[in-house]
Structure 1
Amino acid sequence: MTKQHAFRYLWIGQSLSNCGDVFYIVGLMTVMYAVTRSAMFMTLIPFLMTFIRFISGILAPLILDRLGLKEALVCSQIGKSFFLLLMALALTFHGFGPDFLIVFFFVVCIGFLDGWASPARNAMVPLLIDRERLVKANGFLSLLDQSINLSGWAFGGILAAFIGGGQLVWVTFFLFVLSTVCMCMIRIDTAFHTFNRTDSSVGKLKIMVEGWHAIWRSPALRVISISETIGNVSSVVWMAAIVLVFVHQALHVNASWWGFINFSFFAGLIIGGSICVRFSASIHTHLKVAALTGLFMTGAATLFFGWNTYPLLALMISAAVGLFEQLKNVAFETLIQTNTKSNLLAKVYSAQDALYALSYGLATVLFGCLIDKIGVQFVFTLSGVLLFISFMYAAGFRRYLTEPAHVGAHE
């Protein structure tokens, strides 16, 4: 099997899994609201997923080190399929018990398994794609992910309305099974042998901190991780609840504009991904410029959005935020892959995922309090300022962003 075929199975399998992730959340929330009529139970799902993502990121290096990248993907998808089957059976036969506690347990298990699949997938990309085509591949994968995010929620809602939330969870189970088959079909030697497992004499704690250690030792990874953590905190303003408040308090229009703004934001992400695919060669040559440009323009657009009071202009600005956010993400993603040894890449991604999940969760609480204290427009201003701080930090250390990979596997 060629690398091209292996990469095709990777993106098809991951797309099926991502689509299933959206569908089962839509189906589960539909059933929960129909039974409880409580929004609180619905909000517990994203909270649980954020928390478990942090825990999974901490423990992921141990799992990846034991299983390897391809096997980790397969085991993750098998496990997700198993727990989703149990969830579908519980919803079908009303076996969820009081307060959906057993269903929440399944959500936690699925979220944990998904948490260490994501670093494995991202780390496999440079093993399956030639270095000069990484920007195109990352742009393509990001384009797929955002297209699923944009259409999955709407399509999932339509399916839930027609067939019911419980049946939608069954649909997700079959998508997960197909995804598992695709992951099993990946056959390429480098996917198995380039990821060197740590010697058995190395302690578990050392394995868990290898990714953090690599980030700290590599100036490029350190700059990217700090910059992205600040940007991750600022991105909280684009969560649905805050945008909805902005629509009412700043734009003074009805809630339908909340959907329009979310759509334009994801449309901007898709356009940005398409641009990265189309001009991948140029972006690959100027990765540092692309990352800094995307970071600066995202900050500027966020500030403009926060102080704009015209609904139509808000749609265009939110699309611009999505576009430049995507440009920055693809450039940073490629820089991470080209500045990290392959046997450390999955552990670096795991450390970053844990850091981003923790910072996002804490920022969600903080920004929620600030909206009540200083207003939603000032919160968007704070977000823009944070992005400019991230830009100035990355620009100040931009000389590190093009250094070659040099971080070794072990001392």
Structure 2
Amino acid sequence: MWNRRFICLWGGQTLANLGDVFYIVAFISAIYSVTASVMYTALVPVVILTAQSLGGLTAPLLFQRLTLPQMLVLSQAVKTILLATAAVVVPMAPEAGKVIVWVLFALGWAIAFMDGWANPARNALVPRLVTGTKLMRANGLLATSDQTVFFAGWAAGGLLVATFGDGVVLWGTVLAYTVATTAMLGVSQRMDIEKSEPVQAKTDHAKMDWRAGWMLIRDTPLVRSVVAMDVLIGLSSAVWIAAIMLPFVKDELGRGEEWWGYLNASYMLGSIAGGALLLANTQRLRHHLPRWIVIGTIGSGLVTLCFGSSTNPLLALFFSFALGPMYQMQMISKQTLLQQATAVDRLPYVLSAKGTIDSLVFGISALIMGAVAEWLGTRTVYFLSAGILGVAVLFAWQLRQHSPMKVEKTEG
């Protein structure tokens, strides 16, 4: 697994993810300092989610013309230029006022749009860089790194912005992006000729276009089951956003806002611990991926139910931690199964379509769960989330008939 191409991919994407967290923190801080409005700062994640969805929708158009490493280089280089522009304009905020706010929204939208290209490219590239027996370990390492960076980034980002200011943090992020772009060049330069062909090169006969991923999801039973399962998991997931957790902490647990931070930190630590545990046991787990998907989904539902039922803050903290390993178990196993069940030349199309679906479903979930919480109370939405995960178990159970060692690659 530890070949130079994978090290470049892992290191570069880890730096890029850290930069993503830092620039969002800096953007939120800069926008709030100009507007003093929570509404404007709340728009930042909405803009980012929308842009990523549209980026994922258009990614197949580039898969036909560029290699996966070239897509990563292009997206990361463009993000670096856009962020350098943001670092230049942020110091102008006191004089320019709200004009800078809309400039930052536009730049944030464009940066997130590039992520819509990069995310499916990264995940589709992994099976090309590591052998089949080490694929789950690679996925586990990437997932654990993502969670670690997310946890550390949000914790350190606010401190860095408060200490050094938005502009300094943005320039530091530009440096991280520059190194990440260089690492992506390392992946691109080391890809052999066969693996460096454009994604479409081997599948011209199939007339692949932007609809290809959607059709592959529709026509491949295993992939369709995984995507249907993720739709249900996505619908259940918005109960963990701040808009729902904060009222739960205050109204149901009777604690202050700091406990929301404790619960988030506990979940992140649980995710890191779960990822590390999976990394240590990949040789045993990889032979029974559907089984672990079922166990992880059942565990997520039960933990969510227990969390929603808890009245003791310490118990809620424990259940928040316990959710991390359960979620990592089903997520990493599911990602590995999907990669094994889809031909490498078609995987980018499937992942780009799936990424668009995931983003849209999460947005819908936030609206539905927010409305239910307003109507029936925050405790109810956790029971609803657990029930949706119970339905997802039915789709997970269908995957048990597929063995990762026997799954056939998707045919043209």
Output the TM-score relative to the length of structure 1.
Answer: 0.95
Alignment correspondent of 2:12: 13
**Superposition deviation, residue 135 in structure 1:** 1.1
CA distance in 2, matches of 1:368, 1:90: 35
Matches within 5 A, 1:9-408: 9-94=8-93, 97-98=98-99, 100-186=101-187, 187-189=190-192, 190-193=194-197, 195-197=199-201, 207-400=209-402, 402=404, 403-408=406-411
Deviations 1:286-342 (A, max 9, x none): 111111100110001000100110100111111111110001001001001100000
Which one-letter code corresponds to 1:188 in the other structure? M
CA distance in 1, matches of 2:144, 2:318: 19
Q: Which stretch shifts more, 234-243 or 12-21?
A: 234-243
CA distance in 2, matches of 1:370, 1:271: 32
Give the count of matched residue pairs: 406
CA distance in 2, matches of 1:176, 1:365: 33
User: Secondary structure of 2:284's match?
Assistant: helix
Task: Work out whether residues 304 and 386 of structure 2, in 8 Å CA contact, stay in contact via their aligned partners in 1.
Answer: yes
Deviations 1:347-376 (A, max 9, x none): 111010000001111111111111110110
Q: Which stretch shifts more, 48-57 or 333-342?
A: 48-57
Task: Work out whether residues 161 and 169 of structure 2, in 8 Å CA contact, stay in contact via their aligned partners in 1.
Answer: yes
Q: Structure 1's 199 and 316: CA in aligned 2 closer, same or farther, altered over 3 A?
A: closer
Which one-letter code corresponds to 1:242 in the other structure? I
C-alpha RMSD over aligned residues: 1.8
CA distance in 2, matches of 1:289, 1:397: 8
Task: Work out whether residues 290 and 399 of structure 2, in 8 Å CA contact, stay in contact via their aligned partners in 1.
Answer: no
User: Secondary structure of 1:342's match?
Assistant: coil
Q: Structure 1's 34 and 385: CA in aligned 2 closer, same or farther, altered over 3 A?
A: same
**Superposition deviation, residue 198 in structure 1:** 6.8
CA distance in 1, matches of 2:326, 2:272: 11
User: Secondary structure of 1:93's match?
Assistant: helix
Task: Work out whether residues 65 and 198 of structure 1, in 8 Å CA contact, stay in contact via their aligned partners in 2.
Answer: no
Give ranges in structure 1 of 5+ residues lacking alignment: none
CA distance in 1, matches of 2:174, 2:160: 15
Task: Work out whether residues 62 and 208 of structure 1, in 8 Å CA contact, stay in contact via their aligned partners in 2.
Answer: yes
CA distance in 1, matches of 2:375, 2:92: 46
**Superposition deviation, residue 199 in structure 1:** 6.9
Post-superposition, which runs of at least 4 consecutive aligned residues in structure 1 deviate over 4 A? 198-203
Which one-letter code corresponds to 1:217 in the other structure? D
CA distance in 2, matches of 1:247, 1:383: 17
**Superposition deviation, residue 158 in structure 1:** 0.7
CA distance in 1, matches of 2:341, 2:368: 33
Task: Work out whether residues 90 and 96 of structure 1, in 8 Å CA contact, stay in contact via their aligned partners in 2.
Answer: no
Task: Work out whether residues 50 and 357 of structure 1, in 8 Å CA contact, stay in contact via their aligned partners in 2.
Answer: yes
Q: Structure 1's 201 and 404: CA in aligned 2 closer, same or farther, altered over 3 A?
A: closer
Output the TM-score relative to the length of structure 2.
Answer: 0.95
